[in-house]
Chains A and B, each alone.
Chain A
């Protein structure tokens, strides 16, 4: 909705109106109100499908231990606002409409063999920095989710899932599953 108030620019009665003009005024006002409310309901209906995108990692893959790497995704589960193009950039969700967004990521990693002294972090990178850490306790999968809010004032903002491992070095990490999402909560 673009108007600051729903009554903006509605016809107002004039001081010079006489009593006989009241029905005419009411009819005009009624039509204007109905038109305004119809548009408003249209906005409500349209808002049922906000910009929404979710990416997934469908095929697990292994990689050497490293730091501050941005996750790659291979599947677009839903995209209502041209927010993902894996052929161009398989690491980012692009926020094309200004507004406030809820964004988040979820990663499951299997540390493979090695001493249980490492930590693993998952965060949101790009326009946002937020993260969460889990400590490995040895040969079990670690699951980490992270979420945040983001204000987008100009189209084209992107964010990614950043993950890093530190502590002891493992031969390889296996990313078992990962998902990343963003949806618009409301207008600015």
Chain B
């Protein structure tokens, strides 16, 4: 392992023996090192350094929601991505999935969705958000896990419906998360306004 102090560029005993460094004060140096190390301590909440990716919405989206479970949510904002070695979301380009930002391992994933019906709803309409984890290394891109969230609309108002879910899942390079919206007990289509949505993945561990 490379010497930490050497990598930090501190003087070494050899260089200190060179003439002309008489102004180097050991207490000053000790304090400088202490400041650096205290900085390491300050950064200790390591979860802040975990590979993370969060997709969001830059503006409301409106459209007809079909009465099936294939209404995929498209994201238009990259809220956070670390590390940035994987292709990110480019301005003006939508994205509908999250890949493992830190490679294979266990991840904490969350999804939320706020949708406002604007027409076509019927009594006891059920809105369902579906978080699907697909594995594209398998022949038919099998959904290996899914996490749903349900909310009921009374059919009388067009108040927003809020849905969210979270889970701990195992992701690989070939596994991708995507989010869908499904309306049941409604007319063939429903006008809806997606007013907020997030999809995130934070790495917990590598391969165990």
Which A residues lie at the B interface, using CB under 8 A? 1, 4-7, 10, 12-13, 17, 19, 22-27, 29-30, 33-34, 36-38, 40-41, 44, 47-50, 52, 54, 77-78, 80, 102, 104, 106, 108, 116, 134-135, 137-138, 140-145, 147, 179, 181, 183, 185-186
Contacts and interface: CB of A to CB of B under 8 A. Distances in A.
Given A26-B11, A183-B108, A134 B150 contact: yes
Given A13-B30, A52-B106, A22 B38 contact: no
A183 to B, nearest CB: 5
A147 B149 CA distance: 13
Contacts of B10: 26, 30
A34 B4 contact: yes
B5 interface: yes
Nearest to B169: A54
A108 B148 contact: yes
Contacts of A140: 126, 184
Interface residues of B, number: 50
Given A7-B34, A30-B3, A78-B208, A25 B26 contact: yes
A48 B49 CA distance: 11
Contacts of B167: 104, 106, 145, 179, 181
Given A19-B22, A30-B13, A104 B166 contact: yes
Interface in B37-74: 37-38, 40-41, 44-47
Nearest to B26: A13
B152 interface: yes
Contacts, number: 138
B165 A106 contact: yes
B123 to A, nearest CB: 9
Nearest to A146: B166
A11 to B, nearest CB: 9
Interface string B145-175: 0011111100000000000111110100000
B38 A143 contact: no
A143 B148 contact: yes
B205 A13 contact: no
The 3 residue pairs across chains A and B that have the minimum distance between CB atoms? A143-B148, A6-B37, A13-B26
Given A5-B37, A183-B204, 11 more contacts: A5-B38, A7-B34, A26-B13, A34-B4, A52-B204, A78-B106, A134-B151, A137-B124, A140-B184, A145-B165, A145-B166
Contact of B46 (A36, A134, A179, A186): A186
A30 B2 CA distance: 12
B148 to A, nearest CB: 4
A118 B106 CA distance: 36
B33 interface: yes
- Chief secondary structure at chain A's binding surface: mixed
B1 interface: yes
Contacts of B151: 134
Contacts of B37: 5-7, 33, 36-37
Contacts of A143: 128, 147-150, 165
Contacts of A102: 108
A6 B165 CA distance: 39
Contacts of A41: 1
A141 B184 CA distance: 11
A14 B37 CA distance: 20
B191 interface: no
Contacts of A54: 106, 168
Contacts of B45: 186
B24 to A, nearest CB: 7
B206 A27 contact: no
Contacts of B149: 143-145
A164 to B, nearest CB: 17
